[in-house]
Structure 1
Amino acid sequence: MSQRAWVAAAIHKIEADFNRSADTHLIPLALAGYPGIEVYFKDESSHPTGSLKHRLARSLFLYALANGWLREGSPVIEASSGSTAVSEAYFARLLGLPFLAVIPSCTSPDKIAAIEFQGGRCHLVDDPAAINAESARLARESGGHFMDQFTYAERATDWRANNNIAESIFKQMAQEPHPVPDWIVCSPGTGGTSATLGRYVRYREHPSRILCVDPEHSVFFDYYRDALAGVADGSRTHHCGSRIEGIGRPRVEPSFIPQCVDAMAKIPDDLSLAAMRHVSARLGRRVGGSTGTNFVGVLLAAQAMQAQGREGSIVTILCDSGERYAHSYYSPEWYRSRGIDTEASDARIQERVEGRGAALEVPVAGDMTGCA
């Protein structure tokens, strides 16, 4: 089979797989302390590979195929904190390609098992900041292709339409009391989702604003704050990797476009994980830590709207299932070993959901007041 014929057959397989898949659900979740403000979770855990990264992996494979970067039988290598690797392993197996995930050694064993379940192999690296360089080296030595999600996430996704997450959200919101969200809250891993959302709302002339919430050990918030001040330094780094798997980075990634974001907040890990537990209890199923980070952002947006006397809607993302974190976020020993106080943070989140106590005070950059 010629290279062009193989590429055509590979694209057809991915498109056929997409045609077999349903869209993900939009789940309402009432906030008792914020009457008139409707909250919705876009449940990306219902994808075949269980996370938001399924959309990204599909886009990355189509982008690489259209660019002629993938060849029959050649290995695919990706640098990942886990979820993207699970999804890319799925698509690599669909196309009959070997897949190698380069992941931090601290990645949860459940995610490693999920990568291997999809037919991938794992290459563990002690330094999370080194996974890109190690992936590039392995690709060179094996004659394979390094997908490089952190560079290509924002350009591989068709942000105008083609059933991207933004288009899906607005279609599903059409019959709701406030069909155009005041805020869409997301968190940065590659930066691809915030870029897609920010571009789409501008392209479609929606007044919705994008709040991007960064975890405690990550560089994106600091870079964004610097960009607002006109002194952004793309070489800025953080001394360690994020404890909230799937989001946050120790370096500024090329796919993070600060101009696509209207405001950012930096969320302490204890609040992210308390919010995760709250959402899990409300939905009756486990969600991941990044969903907790997003929910803290929802509370910040709801606080701001309430202070301004405004009603409306907020949409955020349920990034993945919490079943992959049974050995970490849902293990009491994990919290004890890291000195994280769960009781105080659980109480703080519950207060804010009910509209009691002082407002959440976390570092915020950008405008959280008024309309776009």
Structure 2
Amino acid sequence: MRYLVYVIIFFFGNVAVAQHHFQGHIDNERWQSEVYLSVIEDYRTLDGINDEQIITKVKTDSSGFFKFDQNLLDIQQKIYKLHVDNCTSSNQSSNHFDGHCTDYKDILFIAKRTDSITFPLSFDAQMFCDIDSNNPKTSAFIQIDSLKEEMRFAYSEFRSKANRNLNNKKWFKTLQNYGKDLDEPLAELYIYAFLSDRGNQFHNYYLEDLKTNSYYDELLERLQDSYPNSSYAKQYEAELTSDKFIVFPSEEKSSFNWSYLWVGLLIVSVLLNLWFLISAKNKKSKQHIEAKEQLTKQEQNVLDLLLGDNTNKDIAETLFVSVSTVKTHVNNVYKKLNVNSRNELKSLFTK
């Protein structure tokens, strides 16, 4: 039992103090003696120097040796960067921390909290040296950069539009397939950021490829599976949605055709107006019938003649009664229909 306790203490104690170990050499005569470690949360900011991404820094010894022994990294794999530069501390505020230091060298890699990595002796030869790491994914970016160097050589071999078009198609697929074969979504994301960059010669080819290639949706699934809720997966999903809207504008619109809506509303409006008119006419007709039912037969005759713009004298001659009798009938009609003049009477039966 006592030995079991020792084993548990040893195991969890090591987990609790898990650290990353990064080391290497730089040329102190070429670079300042400070090496910076940064974390890249936004894969569109892989280039340049950004003070918001810097985690820590160490000083080299007289031989140029540097070492990071800390526990600052995430347990999940992320993209990190080491860089050296010749931006002096006096002008850091104006260029170094605004990403405008042109005299710098960096190396991108994949790592997590428990990794131990030895970097090449010279950043200048990083693409031709192996990184010694306990994490097989660490050097994925270095391998991709080596392939990109081969690509640049192929483009420079013969400079013509025809050669560029052939190389665009060839190297686009070569890089894409190479990233997939590495079996690391972050490495694929590194290639995607390069191929889809709006300032890149591959951008138009990427937009065309997006129309028919299911690779991009599959990459999103791999990112979400390997790095759920990470900034990488969320950023990629947002960019993919935006780019799909660019290449499929008609499909986005066809999902809801506004012209159909307006035509439908117009038809409904016409039908409702017809219904209101018919209903109003029927209601008016009913009101007329109910109003006339209140009158005697003779009063109804007088009403019809009044609506025909006949004078009292005309009505008396038509009905063979005296004018005073007509006036009596007219007053009774007014009273029963709750009007005070011929105009109100006409309004009741005409509008």
TM-score per shorter chain, which class? under 0.3
- Higher relative CO (Cα under 8 Å, sequence separation at least 6) belongs to 1
